Amino acid sequence: MDSSLTITACSVVDLRFPTSEEAHGSDAMHTDPDYSAAYVKLSTSCDGLAGYGLTFTLGRGTDLCVSAIELLAEKVVGKTLASLVETFGQTAQSIANDSQLRWLGPEKGVVHLAAAALLNAIWDLWARVENKPLWKLVSDLPAEQLVDCVDFRYLGNALTKQDALEILATNDSTRADRESELHTTGFPAYTTSAGWLGYSDDLIRKLCRQALSEGWEHFKLKVGADLEDDIRRAAIIREEIGPNRKLMVDANQRWEVAEAIEWVRQLSRFDLWWVEEPTSPDDVVGHAEIAKAIAPIGVATGEQCQNRVIFKQLLQLNAISFCQIDSCRLGSVNEILGVLLMAKKFNVPVCPHAGGVGLCEYVNHLIMIDYIRIGASLDNRVAEYVDHLHSHFVHPVVVRSGHYMPPTNAGYSAEIHQASIEQYSYPQGSEWQLRLAANA
């Protein structure tokens, strides 16, 4: 790496897609999501070379993330890339723990989402400089260097640096085989496209058939608003997919602990593989209680788990059977690596959350890293895939026969077409100007 390469500027865009108009992504708690992103560009001293990163949001409040990124940018602008990634774990900790901003978290909410976007852009830049896809950059790192990218703070009673090195060492001799396997067959995905809460029964049936014809093996239904509706819709999906494919349900935090246990009991006749987000994402103890009561149906959660400390406890209390990291809620690859390593140590499969905008593009890299270096298994692993908004990306995710294929472009795949930015930036983009004029 050219050690003088310097980050010279950080610009941030508020991008919003009007997805709520078609009920895409609707669930029991999020009735009108406009999939959005605070989108970062880090310019550098090398003309034409930039790093791109984003954090995912649901519309209102994207501007808060934009402002928070602008505040955090002063920790990055003027620094060399080499100095930032040399002790990348410490860099991540310092960005996520500004001495004044941390009161607004710490390491959660708007400020942590902002830290993630900024760190994502640094990872992208690093991978571009090395001319590798992000997953390949990380997969090729020497073990010590990979571990130095992790922020281990508060993980000491669950995962030490020595534990991490041992996990990497155990997988070392076989990692080349897994990498070639990924090039051939990819990493298994599942689709949520069929089961959104706002969809009609007929649309669910139609989307199921379409997904079956495309080779999907796992199907997820949004539940939790009304039990009779859920039973009817689960019956439709189970009828369409037959007895052998996997059916998961997702309550999006709708239930109290006891309610979750009872509701799942009512739906268990449809042979559920997992129950996702049964209650508050903050309730580790509650998830443990639910997990014990509904076994062998597994509990899955993570898309709104704020940081590694919550994941640590979910693992310590055997509260989850599936660990659903979110690529933008956790503080970028630095924090994600720590969670992947903990999940491996506790023998819990990682099945990332995706969808939204850009999450599939990110997750595509993370599952490759996990399979090659850390989790090193496909057992009970499946990554979410939603077929929305990929066309806005310069290097959109590639899914073949229900499998994520390894990205081949250099970087972390978050770069968005300039035309999309001009259309969807909020409120000045052309799509929003049209809507604002129509409502005026």
**Catalytic residue numbers, as ranges:** 222, 353
Q: How far apart are CA 29 and CA 390, in angstroms?
A: 24
Distance of closest approach, residue 370 Cβ to its own copies, in angstroms: 23
108 part of the interface to its own copies, by CB under 8 A: yes
306 part of the interface to its own copies, by CB under 8 A: yes
258 part of the interface to its own copies, by CB under 8 A: yes
1, 9, 71, 434: which one contacts its own copies (CB under 8 A)?
71
Could you tell me the end-to-end alpha-carbon distance of the chain, in angstroms, rounded to an integer? 52
Pairing of strands 246-250, 272-276: parallel
Of the pair 217, 256, the CB lying nearest its own copies is at 256
Distance of closest approach, residue 154 Cβ to its own copies, in angstroms: 4
105 part of the interface to its own copies, by CB under 8 A: yes
Residues 6+ apart with CB under 8 A from 252: 27, 28, 29, 30, 222, 224, 276, 277
102 part of the interface to its own copies, by CB under 8 A: yes
116 part of the interface to its own copies, by CB under 8 A: no
Segment 317 to 356, residues that bind its own copies, using CB under 8 A: 317
80, 94, 316, 380: which one contacts its own copies (CB under 8 A)?
316
| Residue 51 CA from chain centroid, whole number | 19
Segment 195 to 254, residues that bind its own copies, using CB under 8 A: 253
Q: What stretches of 242-296 show up as alpha helix (H) in DSSP?
A: 257-267, 284-294
Residues 6+ apart with CB under 8 A from 203: none
6, 94, 280, 423: which one contacts its own copies (CB under 8 A)?
280
Residues 6+ apart with CB under 8 A from 148: 87, 88, 89
49, 63, 378, 435: which one contacts its own copies (CB under 8 A)?
63
Q: Which amino acid belongs to residue 46?
A: C
Q: Which residues pair with 384 in a beta bridge?
A: 190
286 part of the interface to its own copies, by CB under 8 A: yes
312 part of the interface to its own copies, by CB under 8 A: yes
Segment 144 to 173, residues that bind its own copies, using CB under 8 A: 153-154, 156-157
14, 98, 148, 151: which one contacts its own copies (CB under 8 A)?
98
Using the rule CB under 8 A, give the single segment among 76-84, 310-318, 362-370, 419-427 that binds its own copies. Answer: 310-318
- The structure tokens 């508060």 sit at 154
5, 46, 49, 58: which one contacts its own copies (CB under 8 A)?
58
14, 107, 124, 370: which one contacts its own copies (CB under 8 A)?
107
51, 89, 281, 406: which one contacts its own copies (CB under 8 A)?
281
57, 171, 332, 420: which one contacts its own copies (CB under 8 A)?
57
Q: How far apart are CA 279 and CA 259, in angstroms?
A: 9
* # residues contacting its own copies (CB under 8 A): 62
435 part of the interface to its own copies, by CB under 8 A: no
C-alpha dihedral, 112 to 316 to 371 to 193, nearest 10°: -60
110 part of the interface to its own copies, by CB under 8 A: yes
Distance of closest approach, residue 219 Cβ to its own copies, in angstroms: 24
Structural element, H or E, at residue 175:
helix 175-185
Of the pair 380, 425, the CB lying nearest its own copies is at 425
302 part of the interface to its own copies, by CB under 8 A: no
Of the pair 25, 51, the CB lying nearest its own copies is at 25
Closest CA to 382 of 422, 417, 354: 354
DSSP state of 418: H
Closest CA to 248 of 163, 312, 189: 189
- The structure tokens 């090398």 sit at 46
Q: How far apart are CA 307 and CA 330, in angstroms?
A: 5
24, 112, 220, 245: which one contacts its own copies (CB under 8 A)?
112
- Tell me which long-range contacts 272-275 makes (C-beta under 8 A, separation of at least 24): 272/247, 272/248, 272/297, 273/218, 273/246, 273/247, 273/248, 273/297, 273/298, 274/248, 274/249, 274/298, 274/299, 274/300, 274/321, 274/322, 275/248, 275/249, 275/250, 275/251, 275/299, 275/300
279 part of the interface to its own copies, by CB under 8 A: yes
Distance of closest approach, residue 252 Cβ to its own copies, in angstroms: 10
* Cβ(179)–Cβ(139) below 8 Å: yes
Of the pair 104, 176, the CB lying nearest its own copies is at 104
282 part of the interface to its own copies, by CB under 8 A: yes
* Integer CA distances (angstroms), 136 to 86, 285, 365, 393, in order: 18, 37, 8, 20
31 part of the interface to its own copies, by CB under 8 A: yes
313 part of the interface to its own copies, by CB under 8 A: yes
Q: Note the residues at the interface with its own copies (CB under 8 A).
A: 29-34, 56-61, 63-65, 67-68, 71, 97-113, 153-154, 156-157, 253, 256-259, 279-286, 289, 304, 306-307, 309-310, 312-313, 316-317
